[in-house]
Structure 1
Amino acid sequence: MSADAWASSVRDRDRLLHLLQEYGVYAALTLLFAVAVGLDTSFLSVSNVRIQLFQVAPTLLVALGMALVIGTEGIDLSVGAVIALSAAIVPLYLGYGLPLAMAIALLLGAVCGAVGGAMVALTRIQPIVATLSLMIGVRGLAELFNGDSAKPVTDSALLALGSDSFAGVPLMAWIAAGCALLAGLVVRRTTFGRQLVAIGDNRQASRLSGLPVRRVLIAVYVLSGVLAALAGVMIVGHGAEADPANQGLTMELSAITAVVVGGTPLSGGRVRVLGTVAGAHFMQLIAAVLTQHNVPASYTQIIEAAIICFAVYASQERGTR
């Protein structure tokens, strides 16, 4: 092969990878939805659509926070444990009203995020190590508060948050959509968002140019913790029980999957909020379709792993850094 032909093939490959990274998740989501409807027309029923929205809302909330963290070239493995802590704390304060109970849960989520962010920004511990240690400690704390058995929740306000709808759409989905809109505005329209992306693209250069690197990093992890805590409140309301030993398990993996499939590179320097929304729905749709057709969970995990590998390949090959 001549040098010109080789260069042309490389350009074609890069162009294809660019299209896949930019629009692949939307095309895949559309195709998968068409296949799901073709296999079972009842998939479009109102009850089934509501079920899908209920299930994807907490994952989307956590994925939005994860996208911001990954945009700084970080990772937050503590989000599942923060969900468990939120699930353990909310029932303890429901006697004082849902607003106060939620406020305490979100505050604790912010504290967890601040601790993880401080370890990354101030002591320069690798994000995966810092948040892994936080994940272990926070889940243990959650089980200490709640015990190792599930406890029923009967507060009507919390149960309404987890099961009621507005205009036919679950309240949980409205909240997740509002958070997605805010995240998009923050990334695209604010100085903080531009600083976040710049730090992920080149942290050393950002530091030398005078950007508040430490402050931004801590703030990003705080936002991730708050969104995870909010997801925990929703999960308790929807399931009508607090079970920190099991709630939030593997949620960090689901969130990372949604972010990566949505086109945000693990190398940082970019945050695709709309892609993250599509990625969360895509992965939820895959699980729903396979489950409805009695495909074993092991096959679902294999398929999800293959999708993640392909998404990471598509984002890294183009040299997004």
Structure 2
Amino acid sequence: MTNPQVPISTIEAPRARGGFLLYASRYGTLVAFLALVALNIAITPNFLSMQTLTVNLTQVATIVIVATGMTLVIATGGIDLSVGSLMAIAGAIAPMIFMHPAWPAGMMPIAVTLAILVPVAVAAVLGLFNGMLITRYGIQPIIATLVLFIAGRGIAQVMTNGNLQVFRNDSFQFIAMGKIAGIPTQVILMMIIVVIAWAVTRYTVIGRQIIAVGGNERAARLAGLPVKRVKLYVYMISGALAGLAGLVVIARNSASDANLVGLGMELDAIAAVAVGGTLLAGGRANVIGTVLGAFVIQLVRYTLLANGVPDAAALIVKAGLIVFAVYLQQRADKS
């Protein structure tokens, strides 16, 4: 029974504040995305043109591909700092395969196929290596993945002797430069990966296991869930998607530079996941939110550049978005 001496407003206020924070944490990314679109319509010339749409979609595609894998990793309570370096490794391997002079002209389709499959497989194995450091040797994820964050780019630089690999191969570059029904191939790849990841986290056993492991690893282990196997899976998937994103980047640029491919991508991916509403502590996987988070990050950068603001300012805004997203998550959980 409500105490008549306590004003109703003091009882309802915390509930109202908690409700606001809950809605902000759930729908704040969508609101931010719509606000950025509206702002650009108002102040950015030609924002609604097909060219601008294509530029933003192709720029965000690699972020979404990497961030989707990062979402699964973070949902288990982990982190993957190695994704940018794995992109560089995959990007270094691919040209070395299809540019090899030993390939006869008639075998080039096989060379291109291998140039796609082998780098992705190598990146997946390296992701599995991250998972083994974490599950078998008990190394903290941030430390375990820091190993390849540092060494991975060095490996890519050693493989290429630090040289820029310039190429022109229409068959390979179709993964980034081609179009299907007028839609860029890399955007189609992005959508396929997002739909699969969304379906897995929402409707499959492995998806529920990922959430359970991130929510309470000890309880998941006591319940008989294959905690180690789940972690191995998510790090392997994260590595494979990073490798694929590396191929998209070099195909789009017609060149592979081990010094630059994937540079800073781990930060963009983590930012997209955080802004998108996936808890950095684990126990939740919001794949659609990650996509929106990636678009918010891309639109922030595009808005600033299109209106004459230096790119460095986008880094400051990105950092602020992460801090604000984490703040909303923590306050919503406490409400």
Aligned-residue offset at 1:47 = 1.1
CA contact under 8 A between 1:117 and 1:222: conserved in structure 2?
yes
Deviations 1:65-87 (A, max 9, x none): 00000000100000000000001
Check conservation: 2:206, 2:230, Cα contact below 8 A: yes
Mapped contact 1:162–1:239 kept (Cα < 8 A): no
Q: Give per-residue Cα distances to partners, 1:132-153, cap 9 Å, x unaligned.
A: 0121111111111112232102
Q: CA deviation at 1:9?
A: 2.6
Please point out which of 39, 42, 45 is paired with 1:38: 42
The aligned residue for residue 153 of structure 2 is 139
Counterparts of 1:306-321 in structure 2 under 5 Å? Answer: 306-319=320-333
Say if 2:252 is the partner of 1:252: no
Residue in 2 aligned with 1:238? 252
Distance in 2 between residues matched to 1:224 and 1:4, nearest whole Å: 50
Q: How does 1:108-119 map to 2 (within 5 A)?
A: 108-119=122-133
Indicate which of 29, 36, 42 corresponds to 2:33.
29
Quote how far apart the aligned CAs of 1:296 are. Answer: 1.4
2:56 alignment partner, one of 45, 52, 59? 52
1:105 pairs with 2:119: yes
Paired residue secondary structure (1:318): helix
2:184 maps to: 170
What is the Cα deviation at residue 298 of structure 1? 2.5
Residue of structure 2 aligned with 1:85, choices 78, 84, 89: 89
C-alpha distance in 2 between matches for 1:156 and 1:305: 38
In structure 2, how many angstroms separate the alpha carbons of the residues matched to 1:113 and 1:90?
18
Give the stretch that moved more between structures: 298-307 or 309-318: 298-307
| SS of equivalent residue, structure 1 residue 44 | coil
Q: Within 2, Cα distance between the matches of 1:311 and 1:7?
A: 27
Q: How does 1:219-234 map to 2 (within 5 A)?
A: 219-234=233-248
The secondary structure found in structure 2 opposite 1:16 is helix
Q: CA deviation at 1:238?
A: 0.2
Q: Residue 279 of structure 2 aligns to a residue in which SS? A: coil
**Counterpart position of 2:21:** 17
Q: In the alignment, which residue of structure 2 is the partner of 1:212?
A: 226
User: Residues 113 and 222 of structure 1 are in contact (CA less than 8 Å); yes or no, is this contact kept in structure 2?
Assistant: yes
Corresponding residue SS for 1:176: helix
2:57 is aligned with what amino acid? L
Task: State the TM-score, normalizing by the size of structure 2.
Answer: 0.92
2:307 is the counterpart of 1:305: no
Larger deviation: 4-13 or 197-206? 4-13
RMSD: 1.7
Corresponding residue number in structure 2 for 1:64: 68
Mapping of 1:272-311 within 5 angstroms?
Answer: 272-311=286-325
**1:187 corresponds to 2:201:** yes
Amino acid at match of 2:170: S
Q: Deviations over 1:88-143 (max 9, x none)?
A: 00001115522111110111111111000111111111100000012111111111
Aligned residues between the structures: 321
Deviation at 1:7, TM superposition (A): 4.8
Instruction: Please say if residues 92 and 156 of structure 2, whose CA atoms lie closer than 8 Å, have aligned partners that are also in contact.
Output: yes
Instruction: Give how far 1:174 is off.
Output: 0.5
Structure with the greater alpha carbon radius of gyration: 2
Q: For 1:152-186, what per-residue CA distance to the aligned partner results, in whole angstroms no more than 9, with x for missing partners? A: 02111122222122222211000000000000011
Q: Which moved more, 1:95-104 or 1:130-139?
A: 95-104
Specify whether residues 151 and 4 from structure 1 end up closer, same or farther in structure 2 by C-alpha distance, changes over 3 A only: same
Q: Distance in 2 between matches of 1:3 and 1:296?
A: 51
TM-score by length of 1: 0.96
Match of 1:151 among 143, 165, 169: 165
Identity of aligned residues (%): 38
Contact 1:21 1:314 in 2 (8 A): yes
Q: Is the 8 A contact 2:44 2:307 kept in 1?
A: no
Partner Cα distance (2:13, 2:244) in 1? 47
